[in-house]
Structure 1
């Protein structure tokens, strides 16, 4: 209803101001009616605005940048079959999809959990039929003579997005960053637009990341599970220094994964205990270099997948939507250069 406007002061047009026995009563009654109409109209409009539902925002899709696949039932078995306990010894795309889709996860990057070269091909084969699988971080050794041939061959598959090398399977990244053959392999990685995941973070490993970035600033490096690295009296100075050094290294990303983890021998699920560390890591790496990863099913040793996703959602719930989108999916595109395989991934 349009609002009435007073005209000629408080007088209605055409009314006389001569003495009329009923003028005062009539004038006040009609003026009161107009005011009442205005008040009712304004109130109705206010109620309409208040009652109008806020625009519904689409849920933010999630790209899980760290899952593992394996099959301990194969004739040759598998070198890694999960964390034990109630966790299954077979983890395949269909198993993950069943758990992930209800949580809003639309795609996943598989990070190799096997040092066997042939398992790169096995992983690509089991991932290919499932469009939820967006990429493989494989396992090849840059210091080996056949690395270049194997890398080029695997990179022809668009699902192959890089390799993992760190402090596992006897690999020693801090030592290898000074090796010319290793660095030649890393240059080939850069030429092929692939990324390097570094595993099992420690201060020593992160210092190696800094040195590698100094030598090859165009190589995308992704530090896995950094929230698990706790500051101690012994490492707090060196850890603080290496974090400062990583602040401006724009091609070094970090997975804010492993949020629920053991502290002093106890699994800690309380977000408020983890919040200061998460705040600090985002301050160091910025909005554009943080990634979500679940570490499923290795994460089962700490919490089921729904709780792993839940604590990440809880932490980011009060953050701007733009930051949430960067963490949960947009930054994964920059880090891994994956290609969409399903319509909901096109966004």
Structure 2
């Protein structure tokens, strides 16, 4: 079985700082596609989705150009300011750039917005509608308390596919399921939502997590979304704070071991291929 990694990043600190990375973090160095490629190949990954890391307009064109040059990258989830009045023209312009055909989605660091209902602001909703019109996916990187706004956004915009990154960042380290689980199930009730099986190891205790710590959260999204709306993502290199790339792939395989062959193929290949139009 070949694997699509539906969520990873790269960055070059000589190009721009990643101001979200702490000064003493192991992540404060360059992570390039050359670093990822051998690990991906060893794990059976042959296509990836490159996801934005920082809210600057220059990054998305750079990622599109990289996708045009690198066979491993099958799609890009970029960033643009959803609140700009010419958002439709901006999205069309990105598509005209070198590698523009690889633009598959848009993401904003909603997790950093102080307003828990940021997604419901009129200017943001106008931008989300433009993302839908452009036939792009909207990736949700949110915290559990922001999930109710995601539910309302999914209900208000039925023609936009929302991809929930990292299961909505459940409180794995605190070993709590609620109210996260109820909110995730409510979101999953809308057919225009999908979820990435990603980011769990860094929501757990990075030094002592076990498979049993993660299983209740994986089981929740498997039950809520089903294999046909769940997709594997590594969240490399952020995952390296708690596990290697190969460990993250093996972990996802263990967490989905109860599925049959066709269901596993959905999680590891089919869902991402269909949702992002790879």
TM (normalized to structure 2)? Answer: 0.88
The correspondence of residues 308-319 of structure 1 with structure 2, limited to 5 A, is 308-319=248-259
Q: CA deviation at 1:179?
A: 2.3
* Number of the residue aligned with 2:66: 126
* Number of the residue aligned with 2:18: 79
Q: CA deviation at 1:178?
A: 2.9
Contact 1:66 1:111 in 2 (8 A): yes
Task: Confirm whether residue 101 of structure 1 aligns to residue 101 of structure 2.
Answer: no
* Number of the residue aligned with 2:192: 251
* Number of the residue aligned with 1:161: 104
Contact 1:227 1:257 in 2 (8 A): no
Secondary structure at the counterpart of residue 191 of structure 2: coil
Unaligned runs of 5+ in 1: 1-59, 339-347
Contact 1:82 1:297 in 2 (8 A): no
Contact 2:137 2:275 in 1 (8 A): yes
Secondary structure at the counterpart of residue 194 of structure 2: strand
Distance 1:336 1:96, change over 3 A: same
* Number of the residue aligned with 1:177: 119
Unaligned runs of 5+ in 2: none
Cα distance in 2 for partners of 1:320, 1:223 equals: 24
Bigger CA radius of gyration: 1
Cα RMSD, aligned residues only:
2.5
Contact 2:12 2:29 in 1 (8 A): yes
Cα distance in 2 for partners of 1:109, 1:148 equals: 23
Task: Confirm whether residue 150 of structure 1 aligns to residue 90 of structure 2.
Answer: yes
Query: How many residue pairs end up in the alignment?
Result: 274
Secondary structure at the counterpart of residue 207 of structure 2: strand
Q: CA deviation at 1:195?
A: 0.6
